[in-house]
Amino acid sequence: MNTNESNESSGWLLTAVSCGGLLVIGAAWLVTPAGANGAAVTSARQVTILADQVTSAVVSTEPSKPAKGTGNFTGIVTLGGAALDLKPKVKKGDLTAKDAAVCAMDDVPDESLVVDKSTKGIANVFVYLDKAPAGKKYDTPKEPAVFDQKGCRFLPHGLIARVNQPVLVKSQDNIAHNTHTNPIRNTGFNQAIKPVESIGIKLLYDKPERLPVKVVCDLHTWMTAYHLVLDHPFGAMTNAKGEFEIKDLPPGKYEFIIWQESIGYVDRKFAVEITADKVTDKKIAVPAAKFAK
């Protein structure tokens, strides 16, 4: 009895501690103006509604043609509402910043939400299939992916790697970084990267991950990036304009995961039907209220 009790009561404590953070955020959500709150609810509905309505196979300006017998999935993820004004994480020339000589050479932008001014498209949103279409296996690309660091910033901010495809972790900075991941399925990576690492240290994911893996640098705590590991080629990340393209999907019905780092799932099961030799285009709007802190 004693053992159980102590476990339970400390469990409560743990809950209290770990949920403390959540509660604060939850509370912040509650105290936002009613209007914003209401918008959050209605426009959250719109994510699916919008998607369902805009099924028109709009051919984008420069569509690449799908391979024979397959279809492409393209689209744009946009922000519904005013973009947030995010301050840079490190200001240019800020001498109080850590390792300022390297890290404050230029602004280090806050990339938790990158919105294009003209299209309102959100960059760095992952659109992907959780699993490969049934029964299919896809070869691993031989070319390694490159994951660089410059000005105390990861480049690129988001990366899609394939299972067993080496990711070369490089650095152009004249200061050490340490690249640290905590994946669910793969072995964690926590390596010091020496200044000006031009050859690259091999990071290998040998198992697919369901969600993008957060990459941090413990020496420069503002540095973050995301790696998505797939065992198939059907994943894409939105570009600076918020556009994405997934090529050569076998025809059929799919449920895509749409994921953004600040809010997590934009949609768990975004239903899309792909028809052969056609490009399916979707517009996905994410309400700005979702990003309200």
Partner 1 sequence: MRIRPALVTLAAVVLTAVGCGQAPEAAFVLHQKTSELSDASRGAVEKELLNKFGTPHQLVAWQKFPFDYGASGENLVTGRNLYMRHCLHCHGVSGDGNGPTARFLNPQPRDYRLGKFKFTSTKSGLKPRRDDLREIVKQGIPGTTMPSFVLLPESELNAIVEYVRWLSARGEYEQKLVATLVGEGGGEKDISRRVNKDGESREAILKGLADFIAKDFVEEAAIAAGDVADSWVAADADENLILPSIARAGLDAKTGLPTDESLHKGRELYVSKKAKCMDCHGPGGLGDGVLTEQFWKIPGTTPEQEYAEPGLHDDWGNVQKPRNLTKGQYRGGRRPVDLFRRVYAGIKGTQMPAFGGTALTDEEIWHLVNYVLMLPHQKTSPAAKHPEKPSVASTGG
Contact positions toward partner 1, by CB under 8 A?
A: 1-4, 6-8, 10-11, 14-15, 17-18, 20-22, 25, 40-41, 44-45, 90, 96-101, 103, 112, 174-176, 178-180, 182, 184-185, 187-195, 197, 201, 207, 210-211, 214, 216, 218-222, 261-264, 268, 293
Distance in Å, CB of 248 to partner 1, minimum: 25
In the complex with partner 1, the residue whose CB is nearer, 175 or 225, is 175
List own/partner pairs for 28-36 with CB under 8 A and 24 or more apart.
28/293, 29/292, 32/289, 32/292, 36/289, 36/292
Indicate the residue type of 81: G
Residue entry with tokens 């501690």: 17
In the complex with partner 1, the residue whose CB is nearer, 8 or 273, is 8
In the complex with partner 1, the residue whose CB is nearer, 65 or 194, is 194
Distance in Å, CB of 115 to partner 1, minimum: 16
In the complex with partner 1, the residue whose CB is nearer, 30 or 82, is 30
Of 75, 80, 150, 145, nearest in space to 113 by CA: 80
In the complex with partner 1, the residue whose CB is nearer, 17 or 82, is 17
In the complex with partner 1, the residue whose CB is nearer, 164 or 262, is 262
Q: How much helix, strand and coil, in percent to the nearest 5, is found in the chain?
A: 20, 35, 45
Indicate the residue type of 193: I
Q: Are 171 and 149 in contact (CB under 8 A)?
A: yes
Distance in Å, CB of 35 to partner 1, minimum: 15
Residue entry with tokens 């990003």: 291
Q: Are 108 and 152 in contact (CB under 8 A)?
A: yes
Distance in Å, CB of 244 to partner 1, minimum: 20
Helix, strand, or coil here: 243? strand
Q: What residues have CB less than 8 Å from 129, skipping those under 6 apart? A: 230, 232, 234, 235, 254, 255, 256, 257
In the complex with partner 1, the residue whose CB is nearer, 62 or 184, is 184
Distance in Å, CB of 78 to partner 1, minimum: 19
Distance in Å, CB of 277 to partner 1, minimum: 31
Distance in Å, CB of 31 to partner 1, minimum: 15
